[in-house]
Amino acid sequence: MLKSKKTQHISQLILVIGAAIVINMIAINWFFRVDLTSEKRYTLADNTKYFLEDLEEVVYVKVYLHGDLNVGFKNLSRATNELLDEFRVYAGSNIEYSFIDPMEGSKKEQKERLSEMESLGMAPQQVFEAGEDGRNTRTLVYPFAVVYYNGKQLPINLLENVQGFSGSENLNKSLETLEYKFVDAFRRITSDEKMRIAFLEGHDELDELDVLDITDQLSQNYEVDRGVLGDDPNILSPYKAVIIAKPQERFSESDKYILDQYLMNGGRIMWLVDAVNITVDSLRKSGEAVGILSDINISDQLFKYGVRINPVIVQDIQAGMIPVSIAKPGQQPSIVPAPWLYSPLLIPQPNHSITRNLNVVTSEFVSTIDTVNNDLDLERSVLLRSSRYSKVDQVPVYITLALVNQKPDRREFTQSFLPTAIAQKGVFKSIFENRLKPNNINSDVPILTSSKPTKMIVVADGDIIKNKVRFKGTNPKVLPLGFDEMTNTTFGNKDFIVNAVNYLCDDEGWMNLRSRSYTLRMLDKSKVSEQSFYWKLFNLIAPIFFLAIIASLVFYYRKINYKK
C-alpha cells in the first residue's frame, strides 16, 4: 500500500514536470499577449512589429528620463521602459537600451554628460511643484533619449509641450506619441536611402534663406533639392513630394502641365499660396498698404483639384504680436509688442495625424479655403482653422498699422473656425482633360486625365513656412521657424510642415501612429486633499487585516484537519 502511494506520487511529479516542459516549449514557439486596456495601450501597430522583426543590426537607446522624478515623469519613464521591453519581444537582441540619471556620478562626469546632451540640443525641462509645506520647488528634468546605430546618433524629445494644455495633459500626449517617435527615429537612423523632395523655383517663391530652417530640418529625413521646371515633362519624376512656397509670379501653361501630370502619376504637392498680395514688410515701410488679388494663374488648377482659396484676409482675436513704437515725437524709441489681428494663431485640428498634439501655428495675412467639386473621389480633412472670433476682409482692402491702437469690437468677429489649410487624399482629375498640351511640351506620352491615388495639401498662407532672418551688417541670422522674438515663444509651424511632408511621403501608414488617443483619467484634487490621510491609513492597515484573516482561516483549517 505504501509502495503504491509512493509510486503514485512519483508519477504525479513526473506528470507535472512533463507538463511544465511541454508548456514552456509551446510558450517559446507560440507567443501571445492580451491587452485588456480600452485604448490598446500595450499593443504595437502591425507596421511596427514587422519593422522590428526585420532589424538586422543592434539599435542601442540611451534614455535620460531617470532619477528623482515626480509622478508624471515617472509614468512617462515607466511607459518608455515598457515600450522598449515590448520592442525587444519582436526585435530580440537587436534592441538594447539603458536608463541613465543625468545627475549621477561625480561632478566631472555630470558636466561631461550634460555638455554632450547640450550639443545634441537636449535642454532641460524646468518643473515647478508645490511641496507639502506649500513651498514651490524647481527641478530640472531631461525627457530625452538618444538612438545609436552604426556610429550614428539621433536624439528624441519624449515630451510633448502643447501650449494651453496642463502638465498632466501634455504628459498624456507624450504617452500617445511614444511609439511613433521611437519607430520614426529607428527608421531614420537605419535607412541607407533618403526620399527626394523639392522646393519649386521660377515664380518668385521664397528663397533659400527664407526656408533655411525648415530645409535643414527636412534634410535629416529627405534629400532636398530646389529648381525650376523648364520644358521637361518628367523633371519631377524622381521626387516623392514637391513644395510650392509662396509663389508670386504667374505660372505658365507648361508649368501647370508638368505639375498636373506629376500629380496624375502619383506625385504629392504641398501648395502654400497667398491669395492676397500684401506683406508686413511693405506695411512697415509706409505704415499703410492696400491688399489686392494675387493672380498667379493657378486658381483654375486648384479648383479642378477640389479647392478654392478665397480672395479675403482673415482677422482674428487670437493673434500674434508685432513691435510698435509708443514713444512720443522727440522721445527715445520705445518698442512694445501689440496684438496684430492680421496674424491669426491658427488652431490645429486634433483628429488628424499631421496636426495632432501640435501647438498653434502663426500666420500672416492668411485667407480662407473652400472645398469644391464634391463629386471627386477624395477624402478631405481640415488641418488648420481660425479661432471662434474671426472675420474676413474682402479685397481690395486698406490696411494701416494704426489699427494696433484700436481696441477690436468682439461683436464684429462673428465668424468661427474658418478653414485655412486642407489635406486631400484620393483620385484627382486633370486640368488638361479635354485640353491640348502646351506648345513647348515635347512628349509623345498621352495626357493622363485621372490620377493614381495620391495626396495634396493646400495652405492659404505662404508665410507659414517662412523663417525670419535678421542681418548684422551683411551676416544673416536665421531664426527658428515659428519663433516669435516679441514673446519668446515657438509656435507649431516647423512641426506642422515636417508632419505635412511626412504625411505626403508616407505610403505605409506610419503617420497613423500619431493618431493614437489615450483617455486621461484625472484624480479629483479636492477629494485627494480631503481624504489623503484616510486612504494612506487604509493602504497601511488593509493588507495587514486581510493577511490576519487569511492566517486565521489557515490556522482554523489546519486545526480541524489534524484534529480528525
pLDDT, residue 27, reads 61
Report the Cα 352 to chain-centroid distance in Å.
10
The pLDDT score that the predictor gives to residue 272 is: 97
- CA–CA distance from 473 to each of 281, 470, 477 (Å)? 19, 10, 10
Read off φ and ψ for residue 374, nearest 5 degrees: -70, -10
The band of 26, judged by pLDDT with boundaries at 50, 70 and 90, is low
Q: What is the pLDDT of residue 496?
A: 96
For 86-95, 284-293, 392-401, 451-460, which range has the lowest pLDDT when averaged over its residues?
284-293
Does 41 or 197 have the greater pLDDT score? 197
For 151, the grid coordinates are 556610429
Which of these ranges, 77-81, 186-190, 320-324, 551-555, has the smallest mean pLDDT? Answer: 551-555
Say if residue 121's pLDDT is above 60.
yes
| pLDDT for the residue numbered 564 | 55
CA of 155: how far to CAs of 52, 95, 107, 117, 437, in Å?
A: 19, 16, 24, 9, 49
The residue-averaged pLDDT of 522-531 equals: 61
H helix or E strand, kind and range, residue 245: strand 241-245
Average pLDDT, the chain: 86
* Residue 130: pLDDT band with limits 50, 70, 90: low
Residue 169 pLDDT: 78
Whole-angstrom distance, CA of residue 456 vs CA of residue 511: 15
Taking residues 422-450, what's their average pLDDT? 91
Residue 307's pLDDT band, with cuts at 50, 70 and 90, is very high
- Burial group, residue 75, by CB count within 10 angstroms (0-12, 13-18, 19+): middle
Q: For position 499, what pLDDT does the model report? A: 95
pLDDT above 80: residue 422: yes
- Contacts for 545 with CB less than 8 Å, ≥ 6 apart: none
pLDDT of the residue at 386: 97
Phi, psi of 534 (to 5 degrees): -60, -45
The residue with greater pLDDT, 535 or 340, is 340
Q: What pLDDT is stored for residue 37 in this prediction?
A: 59
- Stronger pLDDT, 546 or 318, i.e. the higher one: 318
Which residue reads 486545526 in cell numbers? 559
Q: How confident is the model at residue 33 (pLDDT cuts 50, 70, 90)?
A: low
- The H or E element containing residue 169 is helix 167-190
Determine the Cα–Cα distance for residues 353 and 506; give it in Å rounded to an integer.
11
Judged against a pLDDT cut of 80, whether residue 254 lies above it is answered with yes
Q: Is the pLDDT of residue 291 over 80?
A: yes
pLDDT of residue 520: 53
**Does pTM surpass 0.75?**
yes
Residue 102's pLDDT is: 86
**How confident is the model at residue 545, as a pLDDT?**
82
For position 533, what pLDDT does the model report? Answer: 73
Give the pLDDT band (50/70/90) at residue 229: very high
Q: Tell which residue, 136, 116, 107, has the closest CA to residue 64.
A: 116
pLDDT band at 485 (very low <50, low <70, confident <90, very high): confident
Among all chains, which residue has been given the C-alpha cell 513644395?
Answer: 243
Mean pLDDT lowest for which of 289-293, 336-340, 445-449, 519-523?
A: 519-523
Distance separating alpha carbons of residues 225 and 293, to the nearest angstrom: 30
Nearest partner of 430 among 291, 247, 562, 305, judged by Cα = 305
Which position has the higher pLDDT, 455 or 158? 455
Q: CB–CB of 499/353 below 8 Å?
A: yes
75-79, 260-264, 332-336: the lowest-pLDDT one: 332-336
- Grid look-up 488617443 returns 517
Note the pLDDT of residue 389. Answer: 94
Least confident window among 14-28, 49-63, 104-118, 370-384: 14-28
Identify which of 26-30, 36-40, 541-545 has the greatest average pLDDT.
541-545
For helices 167-190 and 46-53, what crossing angle results, to 10°? 40
216: exposed, middle or buried (C-beta count within 10 Å: 0-12, 13-18, 19+)?
middle
CB distance 205 to 245 below 8 Å: yes
Q: What is the number of alpha carbons within 13 Å of residue 351 lying toward its C-beta?
A: 4
With a pLDDT cut of 90, the percent of the chain lying above it is 46
What is the pLDDT confidence band of residue 335, given thresholds at 50, 70 and 90? confident
To 10 degrees, what angle do helices 46-53 and 71-91 make? 60
- Identify the three-state secondary structure at position 267: coil
